Structure 1
Amino acid sequence: MTLERRYRRLLLAYPGPYRRGHGAEIVTTLLEMAPPGQTRPSASESWHLFVSGLRQRFRLPSGRPLVWVAALLIAVVTGAFGAAAGSWVAEQTFTDVPGDARVESLTRQAAGGGGSDFSVVRAASPWWGTMAHGAVDEPGYTPEAAQARLTADGWSVTPIESVPSASFTSDPVTGALVELPSRGTRFEATRDGLTMQVGGYVTAEQGNVFTEFWPADTSALRPLTLVGAALGLIAGWLLTAAGAYRMRPLPPIRRRSATALVALALAALAAPTVALWVNVGRMLEPADGPVNTVHSAFNPGPYWSYGPAWMVLGLSVIGLILAIDAWLLLALRRPAASPVTA
């Protein structure tokens, strides 16, 4: 590889329009300054070209305050979606929630008997990932015996907590509701990255045992989410800078169309962005129950009380389509190269 080709490879650190406008001049100047016999760029030259190119990629066109506003807004949006991507990657390290058969087996093991009327429900909220809920009737349930069975099976259990409980029956004579003495308890058991919460509500006549299952945090969620948010913020700023320079030589009609598409995309992504950043705050808070994730905002549910269950995901898809259309409008049929100045 010749010295010229090595210089041109280092120029890849600069944005494309800048290389097309100034690349030949930079390479010619460097070759003229190179001492006879030099075959490789010096370390200082390589570092200078890399840093200068990176600085040029982050530089916004001067004298255009609206571009700065757009860069901040777009960075906030892409930072939120970067955090969601990091959260999703972290969730792949979580233990899977057990299937229905395993949920039933563990629920009956905790209940301590055959039980009857077993049911299982799976749910995902806009704040945490998928959970499984099991329920079984078992009149003879006691939390102490449940703890002993699970401990013998290798589960780590927490102390038993008392929870409010009330049960009523109908008086056979008067028909009035009569409250029955009842005991409500709850404890958690953890094994192999899975947390099971066991709750029991027992009276002299009946007992109901409820279980909830969710994956335990692997300590990957927070760092990966924050890394994703940081990368998203950087990517948003870089995309805005690149788009602003691509927009400058375009005909007025294409500039206005691209600007309108960007504005519509930001409007569509406003609610999802707020939802994702709110989930980032929830994720950073200590949680005793299910692990709060960021990308769970895309789960169907009443995240916003005034919208449908799929509102966050639907608006995200619409905003992404509009953003892609805006970028294609800037990228397709690129105009002839011209010198680009800051």
Structure 2
Amino acid sequence: MSAELERRYRWLLRAFPRAYREHRGVEMLTTYLDLAAEGDGRLGRRESAHLILCGLRQRFRLPARRPLAWIGALLAAVVLGAFGAAAGTWAGWQTATAIPSDENLRDLNAAASGITAPTLVAVYPDDSSAIQGPSALARTFGTSDYSAERIRAALTADGWRITSFRDEAGATMAFPSDTAVDMVTIPTTFVYYTAVKDGLKLSGSGDVVTGAELGLAGQTNFGTMVWPVEAAAVRPLTIAGALAGALAGWLLAAAFVRRIRADDRRRRWSATVVGAAGFAAVAVPAYRLYWDAYQVLVYAHGSPEPYVVYSPTISFPIPAYAALGLLAALAVAASRPSASRRQPPHGEPTDSRTPLSP
């Protein structure tokens, strides 16, 4: 029983940082085994939880009077919190209904428009909607006539339930030639409709030229956008991902500080400079990802049409910047001090007894 109990204590003590185990582990293990011998020789849940919490507290701990360490930990928490929020949003959307295939969307749009010989049929996937969910837009250009019954029949045959339908007479403005000054008004019918089906929403619109001016009669343009209803897990997982990323960032920064504390000043400063360069590289994608998370959290409930409500006007190459930050992190990790130069944490005595296995 004592051998099994010792193995369990060794396993629980892994909650402490490696350096802490190397210099205090044997002392702690001996103390806990002595306490167990005086009692009933068992390891209770409360005692196990206490050990784990103490170990985690040591992992989060930063040295006092080291402002750069605290600044670095805060920056790491902020940056990884952004990436964690993005990962949480992505994971939340994996629980939503999948959007139709490109072929299905093309067929639906063609059936609604009635265009038999289209001049253009295209599907534009959009992965950066305001709530960061998937959506797809099919667009068809060609020649056809307007038929409300055909649009309704196409949607119904594909399993959609129409929730709104509106058409109205209007006009298209055109010039007879490139040098013409006077503009020609051509009668045109416009149509707008929405529908739902099995966790999906659809928004369609089209315009059909009904006038004969300039030989444009029958010119038709139809577009159909489909996106999933917002999954209930999206927002909770976005918040959970941000918190998990922030905690991971702080833990990594604390581990980095413990690693370089015993090194000489030159190596410490070189590692600090490389780490600062990494933070500078990932600051740009972190800024963008926080705006994305903001849009997810403040967007109106009910999965409205997924247009972008607010975002930076510049498109940032997030993977490229993230790769630069990763390279900097690898460079810092490669600067690990040799075993002969490691010292016990400040204020902790060395232990001549055999340390715990790492």
Q: TM-score w.r.t. structure 1 length?
A: 0.84
SS of 1:238's partner is helix
CA distance in 2, matches of 1:151, 1:332: 71
CA distance in 2, matches of 1:19, 1:219: 43
Identity of aligned pairs, percent?
36
How far off is 1:317 after superposition? 1.2
CA distance in 2, matches of 1:140, 1:196: 22
2:196: which partner in 1? 190
2:165: which partner in 1? 160
CA distance in 1, matches of 2:254, 2:169: 57
CA distance in 2, matches of 1:65, 1:227: 28
Moved more, 19-28 or 199-208: 199-208
Letter in 2 for 1:288: P
| Of 261, 270, 278, the match for 1:265 | 278
CA distance in 2, matches of 1:341, 1:181: 86
CA RMSD of superposed structures (Å): 3.0
How far off is 1:322 after superposition? 0.9
1:46: which partner in 2? 48
Letter in 2 for 1:283: V
2:252: which partner in 1? 239
SS of 1:160's partner is strand
How far off is 1:235 after superposition? 0.4
Moved more, 87-96 or 224-233: 87-96
SS of 1:151's partner is helix
- 8 Å CA contact retained: 1:130, 1:214: yes
1:199: which partner in 2? 205
The alignment status of 1:150 with 2:152, answered yes or no, reads no
Letter in 1 for 2:66: R
- 8 Å CA contact retained: 1:111, 1:138: no
1:80: which partner in 2? 82
2:235: which partner in 1? 222
- Residues 222 and 44 of structure 1: CA distance in aligned 2, closer, same or farther (over 3 Å): closer
- Residues 225 and 163 of structure 1: CA distance in aligned 2, closer, same or farther (over 3 Å): farther
1:64: which partner in 2? 66
SS of 1:213's partner is strand
- 8 Å CA contact retained: 1:258, 1:330: no
- Gap regions ≥5 residues in structure 1: 298-302
- Residues 69 and 55 of structure 1: CA distance in aligned 2, closer, same or farther (over 3 Å): same
CA distance in 2, matches of 1:15, 1:280: 32
How far off is 1:226 after superposition? 1.8
Superimposed CA distance per residue, residues 44-65 of structure 1 (whole angstroms, 9 cap, x where no aligned partner): 4223212211211111111112
1:322: which partner in 2? 328
How far off is 1:218 after superposition? 2.7
- 8 Å CA contact retained: 1:20, 1:337: no
1:120: which partner in 2? 122
How far off is 1:270 after superposition? 0.9
State the aligned residue count: 329
How far off is 1:219 after superposition? 2.5
Superimposed CA distance per residue, residues 111-163 of structure 1 (whole angstroms, 9 cap, x where no aligned partner): 24535324104243544445232214353224464134413542122213569
CA distance in 2, matches of 1:331, 1:130: 49
The alignment status of 1:290 with 2:303, answered yes or no, reads no
CA distance in 1, matches of 2:222, 2:170: 13
Superimposed CA distance per residue, residues 146-189 of structure 1 (whole angstroms, 9 cap, x where no aligned partner): 134413542122213569965124459x7732122333332222
Letter in 1 for 2:260: M
2:352: which partner in 1? none
SS of 1:34's partner is helix
1:311: which partner in 2? 317
CA distance in 1, matches of 2:293, 2:272: 29
- 8 Å CA contact retained: 2:192, 2:204: yes
- 8 Å CA contact retained: 1:132, 1:213: yes
